[in-house]
Amino acid sequence: MKRISILAGCLLLASVTGTSAASDKVTDCERYGLAFLKKVGASVSKIEIDRGPSFYDNIYNAKVGSQFVSSEYFGIATVTSPEGVKKEHFVCLHAGDGKQPVYFGLVPE
């Protein structure tokens, strides 16, 4: 019985750790996107990526030009600005664990 409890605990920890790593990359995309949009003059105060059914995570693991991209994220983000709150489609390309996103863009409708 003790072995089953230990095994169940290890499986739970592994599943939480895997989810956390993906979630951290998405949080990286939110931060990177906010910083990038502010840098180009947008008056955005918050970006929150919807992690529900509209969210798509694609493992890419290839170079785009000379830059390695491990994951592509697509979906809908809630963008807050002085003009109000708006739902926007986004794309984020992330370089991988321990690295930062390399691109964030809002897709026009």
Quick one: pLDDT at residue 67? 95
Per-residue pLDDT tens digits for 26-40: 999 999 999 999 999
Q: Where are the beta strands (DSSP E) in 9-55?
A: 46-49
Nearest CA-CA partner of 70 in 80, 78, 62: 62
Residues sharing a CB contact under 8 Å with residue 53, sequence separation 6 or more, in sequence order: none
- Mean pLDDT for the stretch of residues 98-102: 96
pTM, 2 dp: 0.78
> Is residue 2 predicted with pLDDT exceeding 60?
no
Quick one: pLDDT at residue 97? 93
Q: Which two structure tokens, joined as six digits, stand for 22? A: 């993906």
Q: Which amino acid is at 29?
A: C
Q: How confident is the model at residue 22 (pLDDT cuts 50, 70, 90)?
A: low
Quick one: pLDDT at residue 108? 84
* Cβ(46)–Cβ(37) below 8 Å: no
Per-residue pLDDT tens digits for 69-92: 999 999 999 999 999 999 999 999
> Is residue 9 predicted with pLDDT exceeding 60?
no
* Cβ(66)–Cβ(38) below 8 Å: no
Q: Which amino acid is at 22?
A: A
Q: Higher pLDDT residue, 109 or 44?
A: 44
